[in-house]
Structure 1
Amino acid sequence: MTFDQRDPSSSELTRSTLFRKGQAIEQTITRDLGISLLASGDGTEVIHHKLNAGGRWALVPEQGWDALEHIYILSGHLKWLSSEKEVVLKPGDSFSSHPVQEHFIFIAETTVEFLYISSRPVFHHYSKTTKELMDLAVTIEEKDGYTSDHCHRIREFSMMVGEAMQLSPNQMHALNYGSFFHDIGKVKIPESILLKPSRLTNEEYDIIKLHTVYGRELLESTNIPHLVSAGVIVEQHHERLDGSGYPKGLKGNEISIEACIVAVVDSYDAMTTDRVYQKGRSKEEALQEILRFRGSFYHPDVVDTFLAISDRIDREGR
């Protein structure tokens, strides 16, 4: 892995590809990130990225993946987090790795544009499937009585908690996707149950609980490593420390800390969000409810961290 400030060797590549920005071969756009395939040939791809302020992007190690990966910053400031250091990349800075051997998390301090060059094709591998799943997740939440911002809030709050707890880069990467896709398994739940306005029967509730398993299976079926690793969080986010959760009734340290974070965040957002059939509780009422189940339902370290940053969450997340 190398990091160069104002790398002159990258400038020629930048000049030779920038004029193609308006002539992208393919594009994929999500709420935080837009990517455009500018050039592809002999296995090498040049992809323009526009990452909105606060958005996150990552490079992760994959078994059997030996590509040279190179980033060149065009505009804005991109904070690079590794297990050992934190660096802010600025226009003209570059980052290379061959191959990626650890998780690298990048956070946009401002809206950032950068070129990503890979010596092996990656565009379809990590863009289209993820985009389709994101659209699906938002659609499910809207059907379930939430606004389309629910998935984004769960991810944003979860990442705030994870950062405050100083999770490792690989944990943060898994949390980023696991939190967003936490309820994606509901796509396999019949709408007659998912949208039922009256109280569910025991049998119907048992079916609802399967959404955690379905979600893990759906992410695993993509065979995309960062989605596969997120599947554990998706499956466990309704587990509770005392073993009263589902689908497996896991206890204590059997539950990943990332899933424990999503459990608290999801509960808070569910309690404070206005639904079609129910007005949300106040922030204070929701925090008291979470505190009441500290150590029984919810991981005490997660609860303590969530309470400590709750003002920031309320200020920045809504």
Structure 2
Amino acid sequence: MNYNQADGLQGEGGSGAEEDMLIFAEEDPAVPEAAEPGRERWEVLIIDDEQQVHQVTKLVLGDFAFDGKKLAFYSAYSAAEGKALIAAHPNAALVLLDVVMEHDSAGLEVVQYIREELLNSAVRIILRTGQPGQAPEQSVIMNYDINDYKEKTELTSQKLFTTVVTALRSYRDIKVIEKSRTGLEEIIKSSPRLFEVQSMRRFASGVLTQLTSIVRVHQDALHCSFAVTRGQEDIFILAASGEYESMRGRRARDVVPPAVITSIEEAFLRKQTVYGGDDITIYFQSKMGMENVIYMNSVASLTEWDRYMVEIYCANVSVAFENIYLNEELESTQREIIYTLGEITENRSRETGHHVKRVAEYSRLLALKYGLSEEEADIIHLASPMHDVGKVGIPDAILNKPGSLTEDEFEVMKTHASLGYDMLKHSHKQVLHAAAIIAQQHHEKYDGSGYPLGRSGEDIHIYGRITAIADVFDALCSDRVYKKAWELERVLDLLVREKGRHFDPRLVDLFMENLHEILAIKNQYSESAAEAAT
């Protein structure tokens, strides 16, 4: 397969004379053409068993550029080398492939390897053959997934130039479509997750992750919220990634670099997205007026389509933010109602008003130390204040009796566990369902001697076991109508003695191991602290 400038790659109007033939030095096929540092290039693989084909192709296309990028050439001289080369360069844009190498159909085997084994449908494959009779064009085009077929004798420099431009344009458009499809998939996959998160900060962190994934930018990003606290306007960092990660939860003006905070403040001031040279500050606002910006750097390569996807994504995120905010407002209202109901019960029985708050905090702490998830710990924190809600059905004469209860009176008092369960059991809401369990089981004992069900060990729901120790500890540490508060040492001695009898042994150990945190809660919600606050 003689293939030189005279009979294959001649310039338009070239003479093809013997003296026009070029002689080239040997080259290292493994080393690509030198690329400028930091400049991206189109990867072109030349797979041909003729050394001169590689040399002439590189000569003709040496100064070629498309979309501002030059070519980086990689060479292979057999089908076996070609397979290894394409496997090592999955982002190659173009393969210039000979048909006849080790054998008559070697190049066609490479085509099948690329399409069927590597499943690479993006790279453009141009077959170049000096022996068209070995691989007829019509047959090859119909049976193999190639993009062009050229006889080497017809390839002038201009035709090669045109062929490469057409192939690269096609490859570029395919990659744009693939990236757009991937971004759309990320948006679709992220949609349900956006509504699963329970807190604004976790949600904001998820938004950052999804957005940087969609546009494939550097992971350095900030998600800031504009808020008014104590009459002053401020910008807070809800979420951060990359080099900004340590800034999460802080005031933006305290930690963000001056150039970045300037972009963020400008977006808030103009109430619109601000595009810089290498950064973008995305502004979005909910219907309720909640203002947020997302700052990302290293985005100089964003296309118009990328920017459009970002804007669409953030428009949907603003709706999700509003829903999360409304959900948090609803949860806050529910929490206040639950605390209020718990306090009404405690006040009716003339017990301390902060008892339910302390039990809630103790229960949440123990739940986390026990290994329950944040979500479950939050549930028990919300539900445990309802543990004694059944006392609303106990007569005042028994509920507020200053002395010891008779046996019959105690039997009536014990019914508050079942009464509370009956009041709450019909709800399908997660928190109220948990509250029903707690109301029913917080007087069960680990050894089975408790009431109303006489359950033992781990047959008692973990919510009930946790609330039991929290309730007893706080009750013994507080004044009641029928007793004075016990000293701390006496209370702790009782907890240890009742380990494995009244209380779950593991929970007693966790309680004692984390006593400093328990006592901090006790002091924070003490009656004296409450009086000082008012």
Q: Confirm or deny a common fold (TM above 0.5).
A: yes
Point out where structure 2 has 5 or more consecutive residues left out of the alignment.
1-192, 194-205, 209-220, 240-246, 253-319, 524-534
Query: Are 1:313 and 2:518 counterparts?
Result: yes
Matches within 5 A, 1:1-318: 1=193, 2-4=206-208, 6-7=222-223, 75=236, 117-118=322-323, 126=331, 130-318=335-523
Deviation, structure 1 residue 266: 1.1
TM-score by length of 2: 0.39
Q: Retained in 2: the 8 A contact 1:126–1:224?
A: no
Please identify, of 131-140 and 250-259, the stretch whose mean Cα deviation from structure 2 is larger.
Answer: 131-140
Deviation, structure 1 residue 156: 1.1
What is the distance in 1 between the residues matched to 2:451 and 2:431?
Answer: 23
Percent identity, please: 29
The residue identity in structure 2 corresponding to 1:192 is: A
Please identify, of 176-185 and 219-228, the stretch whose mean Cα deviation from structure 2 is larger.
Answer: 219-228
Q: Which has the larger radius of gyration?
A: 2
SS of the residue 1:6 aligns to: strand
What is the distance in 2 between the residues matched to 1:312 and 1:123?
Answer: 26
TM-score by length of 1: 0.62
Deviation, structure 1 residue 127: 5.6
What is the distance in 2 between the residues matched to 1:124 and 1:288?
Answer: 42
Point out where structure 1 has 5 or more consecutive residues left out of the alignment.
23-72, 79-86, 93-114
Please identify, of 152-161 and 269-278, the stretch whose mean Cα deviation from structure 2 is larger.
Answer: 269-278
| Cα deviation code 1:92-130 (max 9, x no counterpart) | 8xxxxxxxxxxxxxxxxxxxxxx9521897589656555
Give RMSD over aligned pairs.
Answer: 3.3
What is the distance in 2 between the residues matched to 1:266 and 1:120?
Answer: 32
Higher strand share: 1
The residue identity in structure 1 corresponding to 2:222 is: R
1:300 and 1:7, CA in 2 relative to 1: closer, same or farther beyond 3 A?
same
Q: Retained in 1: the 8 A contact 2:338–2:383?
A: no
What is the distance in 2 between the residues matched to 1:276 and 1:74?
Answer: 50
Q: Retained in 2: the 8 A contact 1:125–1:224?
A: no
How many residue pairs get matched? Answer: 230
1:176 and 1:283, CA in 2 relative to 1: closer, same or farther beyond 3 A?
same
SS of the residue 2:475 aligns to: helix
1:309 and 1:127, CA in 2 relative to 1: closer, same or farther beyond 3 A?
closer
What is the distance in 2 between the residues matched to 1:76 and 1:219?
Answer: 40
